[in-house]
Homo-oligomer: A and B are copies of this chain.
Amino acid sequence: MTGHVATGLSAFPLTPLSDDRVDESAYAAIIERLVRAGVDSIGALGSTGSYAYFDREERRRVAEATVRHAAGVPVIVGISALRTFHAQALAHDAQAAGASAVMLAPMSYQPLTDDDVMGLYTDVAGELSVPLVVYDNPGTTRFGFTPELYLRLAELPQVASIKIPPPPAEPTAAREHLARLRSAVPERVGLGVSGDPSAAAALLAGCDSWYSVLAGTVPGPALAIARAALSGRAEEALAESAGLAPLWELFSAHGSLRVVAAVAEILGLAAENCLPRPVLGLTGADRTVVETVVTALSLGK
């Protein structure tokens, strides 16, 4: 496995907007907060960072700002795009900005075949001097990876980690799921979990890293889970995660992005309406429930 970008807790911050444009000062403050909290790496311009909505220039500026404020904490930059040569250009920009690794999802408009996706990763990997994280997120890309495709991709020497969709949250089922994936890809390729509600079980079941939405906005509780799980303190990790159940229910109801955006607005980390239009924030009763959960779980501490 290729070192620190593929292990531990990787925090995926929002890219907050103000008046529908990137709020660079709010973003800088969020990155500095993650560094102070002690996350292991920062994942800029993931789905939570709304990469899909920004143009090349906006993404270049966000990548540069992340590295500038990360104070040496490794930065993974999302380079996904619908078109191969745009992803290659974003890879170039991310490397020039000082990214420690890049992350690529098979973003799609026309449904993609396995050969399309293998071609995309091969073409982009050929441009890279830093490790590549394969980003498997069927909820936004609509592309379903098979274990066979994981294996083909793992043959690319740049591939350092695969960000997998949530395994079952139940510990035994998670262990069986991870064992199957682990046997499908070479040992040097890390497996990182996304889907925060499953993360405790997934880390205990053998994931090397947690690519976390929650940690990008509220790193404390995520670090408590990650440190316990990666030290083998299973009961503690699962209890910490279970304590966040009201938050996981909101993630399930509204998608994690809209929930952490509301949390960030409530905590004063982002201006109101911090998501890119047409994606609207939670309002009315939905917003009130988030406020209640933020208070009940002391997320502002």
Give me the interface of A with B, judged by CB distance under 8 Å.
20, 47, 52-55, 82-86, 106-107, 109-113, 115-117, 119-120, 123, 139-140, 142, 255, 257, 276-280
A64–B278 Cα gap in the complex (Å)?
27
Q: Do B123 and A277 have beta carbons less than 8 Å apart?
A: yes
Bound CA span A255–B111, Å:
9
Query: Distance (Å) between the CB of A256 and the closest chain B CB?
Result: 10
Q: Contacting A82 at CB < 8 Å: which of B53, B110, B116?
A: B53
Of all chain B residues, the one with the shortest Cβ separation from A275 is B110
Q: Which residues from B are CB-within-8-Å of A110?
A: 47, 52, 140, 255, 257, 279
Q: Are A280 and B83 in contact (CB under 8 A)?
A: no
Helix, strand, loop or mixed for chain A's interface? loop
- Asked if A278 and B140 sit within 8 Å, CB to CB, the answer is no
Whether B109 pairs with A47 at a CB distance below 8 angstroms is: yes
Complex Cα gap A276–B82 (Å)? 9
When chains A and B are docked, how far (Å) is the Cα of A120 from the Cα of B110?
Answer: 22
Q: Give how many copies assemble into the complex.
A: 2
Q: How far is the CB of A61 from chain B (nearest CB, A)?
A: 16
Contact A123-B47, Cβ < 8 Å, known A82-B53, A83-B53: no
Interface centre among A84, A112, A139, A277 (most CB of B within 10 A): A277
Given contacts A110-B140, A110-B255, A120-B278, 8 further A-B contacts (CB under 8 A): A52-B82, A52-B109, A52-B110, A107-B109, A110-B279, A111-B140, A119-B277, A123-B278
CB-based contact A277/B52 at 8 Å: no
- With A47-B110, A255-B110, A257-B110 already in contact, the answer to whether A115 and B280 are too (CB < 8 A) is yes
Given the contacts A53-B109, A111-B255, A277 and B120 also touching, CB distance less than 8 Å: yes
Do residues B278 and A112 form an inter-chain contact, with CB atoms below 8 A? Answer: yes
Q: Which residue of B lies closest to A119 (CB)?
A: B278
Minimum CB–CB distance for A194 against chain B, Å: 15
Flag if B117 contacts A278 (CB, 8 Å). yes
Assess the B140–A109 pair: CB atoms within 8 A: yes
